[in-house]
Structure 1
Amino acid sequence: MYYRMKLQDKVRVPPGRLGEDLKTVVLDELQKQLEGSIDKEIGIFIAVTGIEDIGEGDIIPGDGAVYYYVEFDAVVLRLSMQEIVEGEVVETTSFGAFVSLGPIDAMLHVSQISDDFINYDEKNGRLICQETKRQIAVGDGVRARVVSLSLSERDPRESKIGLTMRQAGLGTENWIEEDMEAAKADGAKE
């Protein structure tokens, strides 16, 4: 889930930028430092949106920069186990699909797509359920549940997020619509 947060940090303003507008420089430096990074306690930094307060600066001998204590606003993505997420399929392979959750991709293994046996149509880049003939392809919107979560602060590209769609109410947008229409039809019969 996405959150707007007020945070505090120390920001290094390089000596070459000391003559510029301090608020602009601090915002720029924070954006370079944080956006796209991961903090296991806070989440995945999407954007630093504004500076609330800039405190006194500290000078460290031997370093021409000034270090400021800063209070700022940020937007972060904080994922948790069993959370329902929506994303878009960005790649299909013989072992599953990669789903973009915005700033990070998650893995949807073939064993977590359906109870059905899954075939991979390499020519068309689709995963096809053998019995129901339901398909997943690049560009499909999906709703899934987070079942494994391993975020790497050191190298965000090494983070691993596992998803499942093997529960009611989960699947591609088309599958969910089909299920809802089938439920309405069953309700009308009774």
Structure 2
Amino acid sequence: MFYLSRIEHKLRLPPSLLSLPIRDAIHMELEKLFLDKVIANLGLCTCVYDIISIEGGFIFAGDGAPTYTVVFNLIMFRPIMGEIITAKLHSSDADGLRLSLGFFDDIYIPTHHMPNPSHFDPMPGKSNKSVVWFWDFKKEEGLSYPIDSSDEIKFQVQSVSYPPIPVEQPKESKPFAPMLVYGSLDQDGLGPVSWW
């Protein structure tokens, strides 16, 4: 789920940071650039782990800031297909569930990956999109288990995608997510921990 990724980057260091030790100043700039950002095919940067080398410090003509070539490691969040992860319910609707790990909220369980058989019921007094999902364990005996907002939910990662950045986005569309994780609850041991 978490990886070290080695990156080489040309970094322009603002003159305001030159009073600090060079390693500390570069670390601060790298965190500003990469922390909480998604890099396609690498994942979400959670931390600048260490700086391996710093070279250069050249000041180009017409620029008052030095430019360094920095090699460093980032700790990246990128789930593996088939991995089992525990998350909290963020929201649910007729299209499925949205889960959260606290630092990452773009985990989706589509309806075709819900426990089989399952159904949803609109919550009274709420909009039509607000639903509670139920796993119909033994429907003929009336045994069905709800997926509650207080539940910790185990899911299996089905895919991780990095959609292209849209040039234009309609106002009513949901915010753009640079990394999407799709999961499944349709196996034994998956779903809310309280079920098992």
TM-score by length of 2: 0.76
Sort the Cα spacing of 1:154 and 1:21 in 2 relative to 1 into closer, same or farther, 3 A: farther
Q: Secondary structure at the match of 1:32?
A: helix
Structure 2 CA distance for aligned equivalents of residues 84 and 104 of structure 1: 16
> What is the root-mean-square deviation of aligned Cα atoms in Å?
2.5
User: Is the 2:30–2:48 Cα contact (8 Å) retained in structure 1?
Assistant: yes
Structure 2 CA distance for aligned equivalents of residues 148 and 142 of structure 1: 17
Q: Secondary structure at the match of 2:81?
A: coil
> What's the counterpart of residue 99 of structure 1?
99
**Which deviates more, 28-37 or 154-163?**
154-163
How many residues are treated as equivalent by the alignment?
A: 176
Sort the Cα spacing of 1:153 and 1:68 in 2 relative to 1 into closer, same or farther, 3 A: farther
**1:49 deviation in Å?**
3.1
> What's the counterpart of residue 128 of structure 1?
134
Q: Secondary structure at the match of 1:157?
A: coil
Q: Secondary structure at the match of 1:174?
A: helix
1:13-59 deviations in whole A, cap 9, x for unaligned? Answer: 11222232222211111011011112234321111133333222233
1:85-138 deviations in whole A, cap 9, x for unaligned? Answer: 221111122322111133342111233111113113424963223434111122
5+ residue gaps, structure 1, are: 178-190
Matches within 5 A, 1:67-86: 67-86=67-86
Structure 2 CA distance for aligned equivalents of residues 14 and 41 of structure 1: 29
Q: Secondary structure at the match of 2:177?
A: helix
TM-score by length of 1: 0.78
- Matched letter for residue 114 of structure 1: P
Matches within 5 A, 1:14-163: 14-101=14-101, 102-123=103-124, 126-130=132-136, 131=139, 132-152=143-163, 154=165, 157-163=177-183
Q: Identity over the aligned pairs, expressed in percent? A: 23
